[in-house]
Amino acid sequence: MDELEELSLLIGDIYDASLDRALWPDAFNGIRGFFGGCAASLVTQSAITKTVDLHFMAGYEQHFFESYRDKYFKINPWFPTAMFLDVERDYVLDDVLSRKEFCRTRFAKEWLAPQGLVDGVLSTVDTSARDCTVFSTMRNLSQSFADDAIRRRFNLILPHVRRALLIGKVIETHQVKAAALADSLDALASAMFIVDGTGRIVHANVSGNLMVSDGNVLRAPNGRLRANDAVADQALLDIFTSASGGDAALGKQGIAVPIVARDEERYVAHVLPMTSAGRRKAGASFGAVAAVFVRKATLDLPAPPVVIAKQFGLTQAELRVLFSVVEIGGTAEVAEVLGISEATVKTHLHHVFEKTGTGRQAELVKLVAGYCMAP
């Protein structure tokens, strides 16, 4: 099987998993194979509740999976740094934290090193005011460090993993039978349309019909789905045309198309191709190429670490110390976790005190808690 065929089949599996969560393990095993057998994961961590959602961690032994979930996610140096990274851009370890500094951390010594993991490629795929989702693949000693070839393959998969994640969130269900997609999604709160390559609507759920009837966001002249927002309208038409070429043809298009309504409220559209893999049957039965999900956009608030860093002018090193102090406590413990000297921790902490106008660790805990309170 050549790379193009392997990629096409893998993308199909990823999109099928967006409809049926039970298919994700197979999809992630396929992702691991595409990357050469290394580990791969999709993880959401909260900056507020200090919780973790391990969507999928493929290629890790069970006890490492469990220890990450129960303990080590709290000291993973990729967080909260990942909240500052550009969404859907690939990074290697050295882009996030110097390898020398990273290898000194307790996370690297106690969780990565025993598994023989030495490098990785990661990308932030979704952020909110409360959490951050990271897609990553890790390399072991026998595979050496991430090179341009691995980064290229990572970028071929990255937009499709992100689209599947976002569509899965919109659907808000664990299982939807692709062959009965229209019936399964009729009760969906978000508007849903099944369209052909010209944008002609072949099925709409109740919410979709109401949205078109209202005419504030979408309209349907001659039965074709159109957005009132001219830029979004052209983007959707281009996506429908591309979707005719199958899953891989979409690439980065249509992951989250912003739509400005007539009343200036903001909406977002996600497009799922229906011409390949398990969705092919549903698409063929309607003469359709894509399913379109449209919902009101959530308020795009920055996460607390981002707000704190910007307001007080904290460096990434100072921010890591600040959140480590809040999470762990004393300078000796923080020094051990971060793999730096107590003197360095105290220096960063002194700068944090000066910049935030505080004088004690208890005041820092109170400060961070104030930013992390639910609105």
Token pair belonging to 141: 């000693």
The upper half-sphere exposure of residue 241, i.e. CA atoms within 13 Å in the direction of its Cβ, equals 6
25-46 pLDDT tens trace:
999 999 999 988 789 999 998 8
> CA 112, 133, 166, 369 torsion: positive or negative?
positive
- Predicted confidence (pLDDT) at residue 168 exceeds the cutoff of 90: no
203-257 pLDDT tens trace:
898 899 999 999 999 999 999 999 999 999 999 999 998 888 878 888 887 788 9
Share of the chain above pLDDT 70, in %: 90
Token pair belonging to 182: 């229209």
> For position 319, what pLDDT does the model report?
85
Lowest mean pLDDT among 14-23, 72-81, 182-191, 212-221: 182-191
> For position 137, what pLDDT does the model report?
93
> CA 92, 94, 97, 101 torsion: positive or negative?
positive
The band of 304, judged by pLDDT with boundaries at 50, 70 and 90, is: confident
- Predicted confidence (pLDDT) at residue 374 exceeds the cutoff of 50: no
53-93 pLDDT tens trace:
998 899 999 999 999 999 999 889 888 788 888 899 999 98
Distance CA 219, CA 217 (A): 7
Look at residues 137, 277, 290 and name the one whose alpha carbon lies nearest to residue 203.
290
> For position 235, what pLDDT does the model report?
93
Amino acid at 125: V
> For position 218, what pLDDT does the model report?
96
Q: DSSP labels for 86-110?
A: PBT--EEHHHHS-HHHHHTSHHIII
- Predicted confidence (pLDDT) at residue 201 exceeds the cutoff of 90: yes
Residue 53 CA to chain centroid, in angstroms? 12
Q: Categorise residue 23: left if φ over 0, alpha if ψ from -120 to 50, beta otherwise.
A: alpha
- Predicted confidence (pLDDT) at residue 178 exceeds the cutoff of 60: no
> For position 308, what pLDDT does the model report?
84
* Residues in CB range of 334: below 8 A, 6 or more apart: 321, 324, 325, 328, 345
Radius of gyration, alpha carbons of the chain: 23
- Predicted confidence (pLDDT) at residue 20 exceeds the cutoff of 90: no
- Predicted confidence (pLDDT) at residue 131 exceeds the cutoff of 60: yes
Distance CA 258, CA 272 (A): 16
Q: DSSP labels for 243-296?
A: HTT-HHHHTTTTSSEEEE-TTS-EEEEEEEE-SSGGGHHHHHHHT-SEEEEEEE
82-105 pLDDT tens trace:
888 889 999 998 888 888 888 899
> For position 230, what pLDDT does the model report?
95
Q: Which long-range contacts (CB under 8 A, 24 or more apart) does 35-38 make?
A: 35/137, 35/150, 35/153, 35/154, 36/143, 36/150, 37/143, 38/137, 38/138, 38/139, 38/140, 38/143
Size of the chain, expressed as the number of residues it contains: 375
Q: Which helix (H) or strand (E) holds 132?
A: strand 131-140
Collapsed DSSP state (helix, strand, coil) of residue 121: strand
254-299 pLDDT tens trace:
788 999 999 999 999 999 888 777 776 665 666 788 889 998 887 5
pTM across the whole model: 0.79
- For residue 223, list its beta bridge partners: none
- Predicted confidence (pLDDT) at residue 372 exceeds the cutoff of 70: no
Average pLDDT over every residue of 187-214: 89
- Predicted confidence (pLDDT) at residue 127 exceeds the cutoff of 80: yes
- Predicted confidence (pLDDT) at residue 1 exceeds the cutoff of 70: no
Q: Mind listing the domains of the chain with CATH numbers?
A: 3-171 (3.30.450.80), 178-296 (3.30.450.20), 304-372 (1.10.10.10)
Look at residues 122, 130, 163, 138 and name the one whose alpha carbon lies nearest to residue 45.
130
